[in-house]
Structure 1
Amino acid sequence: MTQEQIDIRTPEYVSLQFQIAGLGSRAAALIIDQLILMVVSMIVILGLFFVGTEVNLAMMYFQDISSLSFAIAIILLFIINWGYFFVVEYFSGGRTIGKKILAIRVIQENGHSLTLLSSLIRNLLRIIDSLPSSYLIGIIMIFFHPKHKRLGDLVAGTIVVHERKAKKSNRTSKIEKEIELRGISQNDIIIDEWTLKTLGTKEWNLLKTYSNRLLELPVMERKQLTKQMATILFPKVGIDVANKSNEDLENILLVLYLILKDDWEFEL
């Protein structure tokens, strides 16, 4: 079966080509995630049972467990099973554990990374997609929709695509040599996960282009570009541009480049 491609023009007028993830890869990823959730759910149920027997000495057997404990178990299982997809997808760049193994991810239809709202919407509607059982509605929609979207994807404006890690070259690039020479590493800046989520595809493309061009620019153009990049990106991560030398600005931008490189340097 031929791989289906989709061309997306981003709001920044960048043309991107994606390989759409079909029913097979999405189903396989879901099975892996469901197996993980099954194990976690069993641990939660057993934990609640043993806690319940400790608290309620009169209820020593499973069949005698109180309705309150049962209600707590149902609520916890719902939060875990729904929250897993919502939280993990958002904080892992649109990838659950199953999606990571299958090398697929969720992105917005405009080519940008998954937002908090779009992750919330697509996973809330997972409840409808799973009806009447075994994700029947979702399976039918993915199979027949030209972009393999389920209801959650349609409403949230998301799409699931394949990713392939970019092939690593044995040759060290100029910017990699420069970074090594400056002694720069990802650990030079600590950015929390919530802040890091503000840096998506657009910011990665800016940093990648900046880093690849940096050493080839004349001094004045290099300073101007560095200042512009710092003005655009630093407020997003809470870094003050003022009172910093041009070298400091360059170093910080290169650290941001390193931080985003591991997550965004792949081919789609």
Structure 2
Amino acid sequence: MTIEERINIKTPEYVSLKFRLAGLGSRAAAMIIDQIIITVANVIVFLLFLYSASSSMFWFTDSIWPIAVAIIIIFIINWGYFFIAEYFYNGKTIGKHLIGIRVIQENGHNITLLSCFIRNLLRIVDMLPTSYFLGIVMVFFHAKHKRLGDLAAGTIVVHERSKKKRKASSIEKYIERRGLSKSTISIDDWTIQSLGKKEWDLLQGYSEKLLELDISQRRDLTRKLAAILFPKVGMKLDNQTVKELEDALLVLYLYMKEEWEYEL
């Protein structure tokens, strides 16, 4: 792998991140998988259209409605698949997930609604004149492997970073002994993605100090951190015991650990 395939990003939180850019090969492999999925979906729609056109159970059988509906559904599948998957699945389609790549903002953050919309709207141009020819040429020659959609949306496609492989820390063992896991409290991905490096630093520092503090210090730190973080994630602070607050903070730590603890 050449140096040009790596990119250093300075985030708005002044954190330096290193990513490995996804080249033409990995992006093409992901696209092939996605196109197979889309083709299967299109075939199913087409077969349903043929069935509806030949069935008397539909009152509009002899009109153009079946054709219009089929065209709309196929358009939604072909364009909406990428838009919906990349926005709600952390920058990944099924193909990207299987290959191990994802779309992110150039500042290192997760893809936004607007950038996802622009990026996928311009697929229409990248597909010209046929079979993504223009997009392939752009990815091959651009220094950051960008197609037109990426240029307009300010996005890049990178390889997923490997999570750290190490022995469980003392706080992780403690969390396990308390019977806590991400399933203990349900927090949606949108909420987690809205939190940044500042919140992660607070939780990480909390987890590192928690077991070293005496009961009074531990109680005070837990209440202070809960007062800062709970309003940001829609959790209630009132009428909760210190143990319940600790549980919630430790579960939140598990959620954010998945997003922020990487081996760069």
DSSP 3-state at the match of 2:17: strand
Superposed displacement of residue 260, structure 1: 4.2
DSSP 3-state at the match of 1:187: coil
Report what 1:235 is aligned to.
231
Question: Which is further off, 247-256 or 50-59?
Answer: 50-59
Q: 1:182 is matched with which residue: 178, 189, 208?
A: 178
> Deviations 1:185-239 (Å, cap 9, x if unpaired)?
222212345445534x637843662465233664577666645543443233311
Q: Distance in 1 between matches of 2:202 and 2:96?
A: 26
2:204, 2:253 within 8 Å by CA — same for their partners in 1?
Answer: no
* Pairing of 1:35-184 with structure 2 (within 5 A): 35-55=36-56, 66-169=63-166, 171-184=167-180
Distance 1:14 1:33, change over 3 A: same
Q: Distance in 1 between matches of 2:46 and 2:145?
A: 35
1:91, 1:197 within 8 Å by CA — same for their partners in 2?
Answer: no
Q: Distance in 2 between matches of 1:146 and 1:235?
A: 42
Report what 1:13 is aligned to.
14
Report what 2:246 is aligned to.
250
Q: Distance in 2 between matches of 1:248 and 1:187?
A: 15
Superposed displacement of residue 251, structure 1: 1.5
Identity %: 56
Q: Distance in 2 between matches of 1:125 and 1:218?
A: 54
Q: Normalization by structure 2: what TM-score?
A: 0.85
DSSP 3-state at the match of 2:111: coil
Q: Normalization by structure 1: what TM-score?
A: 0.84
Number of positions where the alignment pairs a residue of Structure 1 with one of Structure 2: 262
Superposed displacement of residue 14, structure 1: 0.6
Q: Distance in 2 between matches of 1:154 and 1:9?
A: 19
Q: Distance in 1 between matches of 2:60 and 2:240?
A: 66
Q: Which amino acid aligns with 2:251?
A: V
DSSP 3-state at the match of 1:165: coil
Distance 1:221 1:59, change over 3 A: closer
Unaligned 5+ residue runs, structure 2?
none
Unaligned 5+ residue runs, structure 1?
none
Q: Which amino acid aligns with 1:2?
A: T
2:203, 2:249 within 8 Å by CA — same for their partners in 1?
Answer: no
Question: Which is further off, 220-229 or 243-252?
Answer: 220-229
Q: Which amino acid aligns with 1:117?
A: L
Q: 1:191 is matched with which residue: 182, 187, 203?
A: 187
State the Cα RMSD in Å.
2.9
2:138, 2:146 within 8 Å by CA — same for their partners in 1?
Answer: yes
Superposed displacement of residue 84, structure 1: 0.8
Superposed displacement of residue 102, structure 1: 1.0
DSSP 3-state at the match of 1:185: coil
